[in-house]
Amino acid sequence: MPHATVHPLPTASRPSPSPAVRVGNAVTIGETEVVVIAGPCSVEGRAMLTDTARAVRRLGAAMLRGGAYKPRTSPHTFQGMGDDALELLAEARAATGLPVVSEVVDPRQVERMAEVVDVLQVGARNMQNYALLAEVGASGVPVLLKRGLSATLRELLLASEHVRVRGNERVILCERGIRTFETATRNTLDVAAVPVLKAETHLPVIVDPSHAGGRASLVTPLALAAVAAGADGLLVEVHPDPATALSDGDQSLAFDGFAELMRRLAPVAAAVGRALARPAPNGEVAAPVSLARPGAWRGERVSAS
């Protein structure tokens, strides 16, 4: 019996005259270059964010990620800095020229965030939050849509339809691992999802190896596998001192770990006929950043309580 396909879908199924998503003035996701998006899980303060943004830019990241609002499993853990973090992300973008990706968790946040960030991320827990999908669709801002913890690929594509039927064609799909019976990793990275989605839809597909593995030691091998499978980009958590991070420190790379990831990614991308996207040349680059600066920014770190 032949395997069922995940479409037909009215707008997301192939073909499309414009499969790539343009972000800002210099970054395009879905063409020949692999776009690396890197930064902290949560914005924790001005110095740590700027330090991280400058470091990942110098090491080759084309975009900056950083959480302002954090939908955590426990209400007793750090929930993000909120609006204050948005201001810091805007400052980091101005300092480095890197377009910014940040998660939106409530439809009421969309208008404010759309003024500040370049890509609105819809997290795994909100993949089927239809009110939120409608609002980000109406915003016209590029949307990074993560696959839900137990969602099928068809459900992910149908969620993308809720954005696109509102007139927003700029949707990026993200495989971030799914919940299975396996407990050795935080989630199970569905590598097969990458070629399946790219065969069934024109939408760009990126991978989050940080949430998939849940351990920093797994980020690089999973990232290499994702690029080999055809991913158009990576979403990687990077922190100046992961041991003291307020969220997801176990799966965050320090600056030297991110440098090693970028070094190993280039030949894998080349082997599949691609190259790594470079940061925009017009971004301001500050003084060289040390690859090991634990605690250099702690004076501005916010409290976890």
b/e code 190-224 from CB counts within 10 Å (16+ = b)? bbebbebbbebbbbbbbbbbbbbbbebebbbebbb
Average pLDDT over residues 176-199: 95
Query: Does the predicted TM-score (pTM) go above 0.85?
Result: yes
* 77-84, long-range: CB < 8 A, 24+ apart: 77/247, 77/304, 78/42, 78/246, 78/247, 78/304, 80/42, 80/43, 81/42, 81/43, 81/44, 81/302, 83/112
Strand partners, 36: 234
**What does the alpha-carbon distance between residue 162 and residue 167 come to, in Å, rounded to a whole number?**
10
Determine how many CB atoms are found less than 10 A away from the CB of residue 183. Answer: 6
Average pLDDT over residues 232-250: 93
pLDDT at 300 over 80: no
Determine the straight-line distance between the first and last CA of the chain, rounded to whole angstroms.
55
Please count the CA atoms within 13 angstroms of the CA of 198 that sit on its side-chain side. 20
- pLDDT, mean over the chain: 87
Strand locations in 160-225 (E): 171-175, 205-207
**What does the alpha-carbon distance between residue 257 and residue 243 come to, in Å, rounded to a whole number?**
13
pLDDT of residue 280: 85
3-class DSSP state for residue 91? helix
pLDDT of residue 17: 52
pLDDT tens for 150-168 read 999 999 999 999 999 999 9
pLDDT of residue 10: 57
Determine how many CB atoms are found less than 10 A away from the CB of residue 25. Answer: 10
pLDDT of residue 72: 59
At 305, the pLDDT band (50, 70, 90 cuts) reads: very low
Residues 188/178, Cβ–Cβ less than 8 Å: yes
pLDDT at 303 over 50: no
pLDDT at 295 over 50: no
Residues 252/290, Cβ–Cβ less than 8 Å: no
Q: Which domains does the chain have, with CATH numbers?
A: 21-65+79-236+249-280 (3.20.20.70)
pLDDT at 291 over 50: no
30-44, 60-74, 127-141, 236-250: which range is least confident on average? 60-74
Q: Length of the chain in residues, anyone?
A: 305
Q: Which residue has the higher pLDDT, 281 or 57?
A: 57
Average pLDDT over residues 242-265: 94
Residues 101/206, Cβ–Cβ less than 8 Å: no
Residues 166/159, Cβ–Cβ less than 8 Å: no
**What does the alpha-carbon distance between residue 294 and residue 250 come to, in Å, rounded to a whole number?**
15
**What does the alpha-carbon distance between residue 287 and residue 206 come to, in Å, rounded to a whole number?**
31
